[in-house]
Amino acid sequence: MTVPRLALLSLSLIVACKSPERGLGEASTDQAVLADTPGLAHLADALDDPAAELLDLFDDELSFATAPDPTALFSSQHDAHAALADGTGTTLNVLTFNAGLLGRNYLIFHVEVPQLDARRERTGEELFASGNDILFLQEVWEVDDAERIQAAGEAAGYTVWRPDKRKPQRETGLVMAVRSDLIASEGSFDVVQYDAQRKAENMPGPNLKRGWIQASFTMADTGVEVHLFNTHLTPYYDRSGTRSLQGRQLGLEIAQVPDDALVLVGGDFNAGWYYADDTWVDAEGEEFKGWWLNPILPAVLSHYGGLSDLANLAELVPEVSAGQAVPTGADATWLDTPYGDEAVCDTPNIYTATDCNSHYHSSYAATEYPARMDLLFVRDGTGKMRARSRERAFVEHLDFGEAGSFELSDHFGQQVTIEIVD
């Protein structure tokens, strides 16, 4: 959920903050020349600076000359994964989903995802009837909602992890679930909150504090050690610096996981891999610059954590062609019709945060680029994981009776089918 822009501008006058830069330069993985690092080379190209270093990405004055283009990176990683020896084994459906269960007060206004009451009563039921085996859930802010989802999951045969204290649940809004018969034994569970925060989100904002939850287990039959990380990063296109620091911190934590384990990461990262233009023009003709900085986050997280985009391993994601097809130069028609043309939503697309979602359109119409910001990442130290297919989840309208017919959340989910081969 994004707070309306005018409200955010008012709030920014009340509270300003600067993201901390704790430990920058101290990790061995901080020492990288972008052009010489496969996962970061496209950022050097966009800077038009072959000598640029990783730490330059954390400079407040950074700007790109062109749009960071992940095409070569995506092709290389997809092709390398497709070349792995095939096999058969345990098939798993992995989902990341922003449930959009947000209704909170800021100091001077209220923010709420549309149709909250109707949706919250159905969320647990729909999630655990969806056929997914591993679920990363965000925006389950209220303890009552978390308890409701946990009860639905346990009744359906899932093990559910969430913060065991009221405050971190209400601040992070994170829940994870795994089908219990996949678990031979459970390992550790932890809740961590980022050093870098937009403090206004906590106070005078609605008491949010970004972080992640992590859990581990040994998979039944396969013996594979699985580590799960679920996160929700700071929102808004102009907060890329905070997100980059958060991505570094999470990536460094993931790097501590044993090399021979399977790591799966899900979340709402509030940034995508590609934006065709650095400027977004809204329905009133106002320009908002700085979008090209947002793709730093997925690249930085992947670098520090040794991760790959899981959906792209399954099926090559047309990130750039999709981005270049997005209409630009919004006008008043976009306030009534997504992108000013219903046909835009009829064509296949990759986005999980888009005006093509009726709740999202109700909250953000014509104010920002659509994005594939709900992402799944993987680091496979077992050599056994094969990504098979990808699709967006919870795209269809559901019948909510008297409340009407609409989507389960203001985001679509990202679902990837994987196989752990023998």
Average pLDDT of the residues in 136-145: 98
pTM: predicted TM-score of the whole model, two decimal places: 0.95
- Considering just the CA atoms, what is the radius of gyration of the chain in Å? 20
The dihedrals phi and psi of 382, each to the nearest 5 degrees, come to -90, -25
d(CA 261, CA 218): 10
Question: In sequence order, what are the beta bridge partners of 33?
Answer: 53
Asked if residue 152 lies in contact with residue 125, where contact means CB atoms within 8 angstroms, the answer is: yes
- What pLDDT score does 21 carry? 66
| Least-confidence region, from 113-117, 251-255, 308-312, 341-345 | 341-345
- What pLDDT score does 173 carry? 98
- DSSP-based three-state secondary structure for 159: strand
d(CA 182, CA 311): 22
Neighbouring C-beta atoms of residue 97, cutoff 10 Å = 29
User: What percentage of the chain exceeds 90 in pLDDT?
Assistant: 88
- Tens of pLDDT, residues 230-278: 999 999 999 999 999 999 999 999 999 999 999 999 999 999 999 999 9
What are the structural domains of the chain?
Answer: 5-421 (3.60.10.10)
Asked if residue 237 lies in contact with residue 275, where contact means CB atoms within 8 angstroms, the answer is: no
Looking at every residue in the chain, the average pLDDT score rounds to 94
